[in-house]
Amino acid sequence: MKKHVLLSTIAIIVILAASIYISLSLKKTPAVAFTAVKSADITQAVRASGQVSAAQDLSLAFEQGGTVAAVNVKDGDLVKQGQVLVRLDSANAQASVNQAVAALDIAKANYQKLQNGATGASIDVAQTTLSNAQKNLAAVTAQQNLIVKNAAAVLLNSNLAAAASTNNISTANPTITGTYNDTAQGQYQIKIYSTGGGLHFTVSGLETTDGQVSTAPVPLGTKGLFIQFPSSAQYINDSWTVSVPNTQGSGYLTNLNAYNNALQTQNQSVTTAQAAVDSAQANLQLLQTAARPEDLAASNAQVEAAAAQLQTAQNSLSKSLLLAPIDGVITSVDTKVGQTVAGSSLAPGPDVIKMISAQKFQITAFLSEADIGKIKVGDSASTTLDAYGSNVNFDATVISIDPSATQTQGVPTYKTILEFNNNDSRIKEGMNADVTIYDETHTGVLVVPSTAIIKKKTTMNLF
């Protein structure tokens, strides 16, 4: 009983002491300045810096090699999607398309005839078609063989020269003339020796022969080449090498590309012509037998094969054109008419055209973890560009926020893309930009200066 009375007495004393302390504290006059509370509109804003870029920045190259026949644009040109920018020589590709069209027409006609039933006249026509296809195959083969042969001759004969050995006494080199008329590749090794009758030379390598040193052209074997020595030079024990082809010549790579293109065109053209022969031959065989369901199926398959061959030829033809994939502006043209460009289905050639889109320009900025939660896609923004100073503003809108962080100097940041609201000609790619992004806006809010707010934490322990 006494214990409960004692605890109650202590509690009453503590409460009275606390009350007296609080009362005395409230009577003190705070030494602060007062300010009026106002009603205003407030907006949450985030500031960042970034760089201007085009919505799309493209580098264009050919999927196949060839010779440039036309360049239709220059730096700064505005182009439309689908516009032809650069065109390669497409004569051979167009011929392949024409042959594929003819082969498809033949396949379709054969299928129709098979459905209608064969007649003597139909068989005669089929035989004529086969004969024409065979003649076309022979003509195409001969034509392509000649083209390849000529390309090989140009490659093997380009810039032929006698390369001196390092220990030669004379600095004067003989001249190589004539036309190499063989297909073998290799070297002519030429060496000077002296006899009682004067200076002679021996040849080894591609051919084995010898001859007398002369200021007039002397046959360098039997394959069309000649060698001619200057009159004033001393050649005792000197030697030279003539490489066929001359891989160090200025035109070697161009001629090699032309030769490889000729081989590729030869293969495509002969394959297409052979397909026409095969189709005509199959059609004739079908006409000579009764039409059965399996015969009709086979004929229809030939139609589909011919259609596929035509599509392949058309695809090859389309690859001779470099088209604008989007509306945009040409920023760089790195080719000219007559130039040979490389390219294949496995690896496109070097960039020929560079362009940027004609769409609105964008700003790429990286926001900190503390700021990224304050904005959202669709927020408006005010932008200034270093080029025009802080008094010129451009309106923009947030269009993208990367959900994953990017480490910038070890700090996580989030890639944010804004788009200018207008296509202003003053905006250029690569300009530095300062951006203020506006998110939530509250109207009619009671506000006071932050300096008028005092935060004080009071801790009171009663026991």
Instruction: Evaluate whether 162 touches 241 at the Cβ level (below 8 Å).
Output: yes
Q: What is the model's pLDDT at position 98? A: 92
Neighbours of 210 (CB within 10 A): 12
pLDDT at 463: 46
Domains of the chain, by residue range, sit at 57-89+320-357, 92-150+254-318, 159-250, 362-446
Q: Report percent pLDDT > 70 for the chain.
A: 83
Bridge partners of 232, per DSSP, are none
What's the pLDDT tens digit per position in 228-256?
A: 998 766 777 899 999 999 999 898 999 99
Q: Please give the backbone phi and psi of residue 259, each rounded to the nearest 5 degrees, phi first.
A: -65, -45
Judge whether residue 121 has pLDDT over 80: no
| pLDDT value of residue 184 | 93
**pLDDT score recorded for residue 124:** 85
* Exposure string for 83-106, b = 16+ CB within 10 A, e = fewer: eebbbbbbebbebbbebbebbbeb
CATH architecture classification, 57-89+320-357: Beta Barrel (2.40)
**362-446 fold:** Elongation Factor Tu (Ef-tu); domain 3 (2.40.30)
Mean pLDDT of the chain: 83
Residue-wise pLDDT tens digits, 339-385: 888 776 666 778 888 888 766 788 888 888 888 888 888 888 999 99
